[in-house]
A and B are shown apart, each in its own frame.
Chain A
Amino acid sequence: MTKSAATFLRDLRDEVESHPGTNHMFLCRLAWVPFTREDYLVASTQHYPLVGTFTRYLEELLLRAPTSEAKSWLAKVLVDEYGEGSDGKDHRTLYREYLVAAGLQGFDDLDTPLHKDVTAFVFEHLRIVKEEPFLVGLGAVGPGHEWSIPKMFPPIIQGLRKSGFSESSIVYFTLHALQDIDHGRWLEEALLLNASTSKAQQEIRRGTLLSLEARERFWSGVQDKVTRWRQPQNVHLRTQARGERFSLRSMAKEGLKDQLVRLRPPAQELTLRQLRAMTAVDKAA
């Protein structure tokens, strides 16, 4: 039986708010582990590529919105994302201010290697908004983003405050924690009108979960960068738990070929410059 749109959205919100992508252990660690500014800078260089791309997802989706009503909801969020409500500063500007506070010195280059799951996050969302049905895209940018961010950012803010960042330097995060509550509500209004059929509900949920699953991998990737810059060679059992262990038992179970594939060094990581060239994000921004 098809749920009413309101029931569906309530259940979906519960699912978003309890999802591993929203409550990733890295976020929980940020709240309690006294990471240094150096650690935050490493994390930020991985997070920053996402900052300019959300507007790109909305723009792509806007082009495919089936009705003028849907277009106007997306446009409303988009205008806010461009900087309304934040003294005219767009999100990239706010984020750069934070990067400076985290220790950005001078202007280096765009050649920071990005974790493969960071770039994968961007590619996956571009694919969703371009290739999947409109409601799948709406699920990804709506519940997938706007419902999860107000829950993901508070532990980050807690950690930043604990590490001594001033309020003015973390506006990007504090603004989003509040602004995305509004955005989520606006998109929820749009979803209420569009989530009355079983097919529509399935598409919205699919988009939401695709986004959150990419998000979960994204946070794991960021955490990996943060911890590996200090100890690139370290070994802990959980490293094995991620499936990098080579043993006679696992070889027998999975075959030598699969094991050797695992042991290969990771594929060349893309840089932000390359990512932007491939996704033409700068053009859009």
Chain B
Amino acid sequence: MRILFVQPAPFEPGRLGLENAIWLSEPAAFTSLAAMVPDHECRILDLRLEPDSALNRELLAFRPDIVAVSCMTTDSYQAMAILQCAKNTLGADKVFCIAGGHHPSLAPYDFHQVSIIDAIAIGEGEDTFKELVAHLDQGGARRKLQRIDGLCFFDGAEWVTTTKRAQSRSMDSFPLPDRSLLKKYSGSYFFMSAMPMGSLSTSRGCAYDCNFCGIWEFYEKKVRFLSAARICDALEAMDESFVMFLDDNFLTSQKRLEELCDEIERRGIRKLYGAQGRADFVVKHPELMARLRKAGLTLLISGYETNDEQGLAALKKSSVADANKIAAKMLNDLGIAIFGIFMVRPDFTHADFDFLYQSIDEMRITLPIITIHTPLPGTQLRKLAQGNLLTEDVRFFDLLHAVTPTTLSREEFYTRFTEGWAKREWRNAPFLDFVKKRPDFMKITWRGLIHLTQMLVRYRPVATSPESHLRDEIGIIPADLTVLNAREKATDKAPIKTAPLPSSSKGLRIISDQAAE
């Protein structure tokens, strides 16, 4: 069978969003799925790197039997548009369309669209996809998929969810991802200046249950690891000098990380790495962090969220503010770049913003990534915030828009929020310290600096302007809505009073024939 995997871009071109500006990782889900069906012809189309028309042309040239998309929350409309395009172009009965990934797994009802979707893969997809392809290849009926676990499909009368697939298979038993399918995008993936960048998942799941995160629900709080030997096999097969570990929480097991350091040393693998991990783990394992640094760990993305103890407790973060501060100091001392994620809550006052920014500056974060506390679908937080949502438009769940009422006016809120980006950018002192401490990283990524500079110079005016956020909300969230009047507004039938249209919105000048006639 011919299988086309399509990676959606998160937004229609031109919308505010940080995705793709500072980090673009390989569509690792597709390389893993493709490796499960080696007897079939697979292609990957990454629409983050392609013009829109590439999809139509690939559909016509390749004529796939199956089109598969994988998506997070913000790109789920785009995923549906892709499947619509596939059905329209090839004919509804001539192509089988399947959606999988984070959002379809946690909110499958959003994809109950009979006209464009034949099935939804729930949870880990490898075995589900393999069995589905075998079923279709043997001429199995599209609407009789009951025997395949982990699917939701329309059986002709209703959407049926099959038995939940046990997510217990050892990661070592999966074949290594088929990265040969990404040859055409070779050199295109990056994190900041690290370009080209390889991507590798060495574990799945997270043992913590932070209420703003859906990862632990997706993986049912189980954590599985790839063995050190398999990780090193994969690393040795990669040409890239910089590899990003895509694990949701790389810093989990001391034992496995020590084994990984041993194996990297034993094989003499000389690459640099980035990963995501928790601050409290860093604090508890100073020797291990030093070893990881020696083995090549160069940057760590950590969700510090806030330095306010009550705030951390409210997020069920299971960490304390002191751990954030100590971890930051340790990482700075080791020369590991800190990409600290912080959360601005919609109920922030000016004093809260001041406190957050002051603590970020004190921690000397290499690049703070400031986000807005967002009740993402599938999280505990979403259940708590459901009645308070200002919109269900998934594009706004990008951590850059307040989807619940703010305490400050929206304009003030976004002014303070963007100030966080504007004043703490990559040219700051902690970044320059890192540059001095890590000539090895600069040596292998200097070419990527041109790309990074381009991206930041072009993106900065957008990321640092409150108007960017308010423009996205025109016609959707009233500009004058705050926590004080949210209830009243919710029952107000009057049309939404939007922010004044920006002067540059020339497209909104109205045509009138009468004027001409």
Contact = CB atoms under 8 A, between A and B. Distances in A.
B48 A237 contact: yes
A133 B356 CA distance: 70
Interface residues of A, number: 68
B186 to A, nearest CB: 13
Contact of A231 (B47, B471, B513): B471
Contact of A46 (B459, B476, B507): B507
A151 B88 contact: yes
Nearest to B59: A18
A230 B510 contact: no
Interface stretch (A109-117, A134-142, A186-194, A200-208): A109-117
Contact of A37 (B84, B395, B475): B475
Contacts of B55: 25
Contacts of A113: 506-507, 509
B13 A223 contact: yes
Given A23-B88, A28-B81, A28-B88, A235 B455 contact: yes
Interface stretch (B16-24, B128-136, B258-266, B289-297): B16-24
B512 interface: yes
B57 interface: yes
A96 interface: yes
Contacts of B476: 36
A45 B451 contact: no
B81 A226 contact: no
| Residue among B50, B90, B509 having the largest count of chain A Cβ atoms under 10 Å | B509
B462 A235 contact: yes
Given A233-B462, A235-B455, A227 B84 contact: no
Given A25-B81, A29-B12, A113-B506, A20 B512 contact: no
A226 B508 CA distance: 9
A45 B506 CA distance: 11
B507 A228 contact: yes
A13 interface: no
Interface in B72-96: 77-78, 80-82, 84-85, 88-90
26 contacts: A20-B89, A28-B85, A31-B81, A32-B77, A32-B84, A33-B77, A39-B475, A99-B510, A106-B510, A112-B506, A112-B511, A216-B53, A223-B52, A227-B13, A227-B15, A229-B507, A230-B472, A233-B461, A236-B11, A236-B17, A237-B20, A237-B48, A237-B49, A238-B49, A238-B50, A241-B50
Given A23-B89, A25-B85, A245-B454, 9 more contacts: A17-B88, A22-B88, A24-B56, A28-B84, A107-B512, A220-B52, A224-B14, A234-B14, A236-B14
